[in-house]
Amino acid sequence: MNKQIKGYMKNRRNRAQKGFSLIELVIVIVILGLLAATAIPRFLNVTDDAEDASVDGVSGGLATAVGFVRAQWEVDGRRNDSVVLDGTRTYMDERFGFPTGSPESGVGNTDATTMTNVTCQEVFNAVLQNAPRNVQINQDARKQRYVVSVIGNIGGTGTAITGEQVPGLDVCVYHLIASLKLDPTTGVANPQPNLTTAGAKGVTYNPGTGQVVSFSNDL
């Protein structure tokens, strides 16, 4: 009887030491592959949703801030080319009353048809209470969140407070860096993004109409 028990225990130990069979390993690999195929797209969707939420948040904040500046301009009696809001001076085109720059660079731009990368960046930093980290489009964008650029003469026509139609408005563009490709050496966006760049996301601002719009060029 003892011999039978010992033999049974020996057989159990031998079976336990054999490990997984080839079929069992294949089944495990297939299951892991199926899980990965299901989880990765969901993770990518979560990332896209987070980027979209970030862009929409900045867009809403910028639109609200632009509205505050315009309201202060109205309160001050219009016709003035700058206002002071929360201790920060913001310049504007007195024909429209929307931000066009700040004294930060010493330019003091007051024309919605002569915007530059610099003045678009000034607007972003001046009107937002806590603007996301940003650089101009030709600068190292590593460790930043947005790159700033201007696209000239694509903003259509604005209506001045006198009723005059003013053509050739510029548009400021704030690209979300996470949606761009950066040169690994210089950190500059490459290729230089525009409003049609595949996969790019961001916000546009028209200083002649005050319109703020978020965009997403999904792949």
pLDDT in tens, 53-86: 889 999 999 999 999 999 999 999 988 999 998 8
Does a structural domain hold residue 9?
no
Q: Is the pLDDT of residue 44 over 90?
A: no
Output DSSP code: residue 160.
-
Does a structural domain hold residue 11?
no
Token look-up 């509205």 returns: 67
- Nearest 5°: the CA angle 146, 149, 152 is 155
Does a structural domain hold residue 13?
no
Q: Is the pLDDT of residue 147 over 80?
A: yes
In tens, the pLDDT along 153-163 reads 999 999 999 99
Which residue range(s) make up the domain with 149?
18-65+111-216
Does a structural domain hold residue 105?
no
Does a structural domain hold residue 57?
yes
So what's the pLDDT on residue 28?
A: 73
Does a structural domain hold residue 10?
no
Does a structural domain hold residue 81?
no
Q: Is 158 helix (H, G, I), strand (E, B) or coil?
A: strand
Output DSSP code: residue 157.
-
Does a structural domain hold residue 6?
no
Report the number of distinct structural domains present in the chain: 1
pTM of the model: 0.79
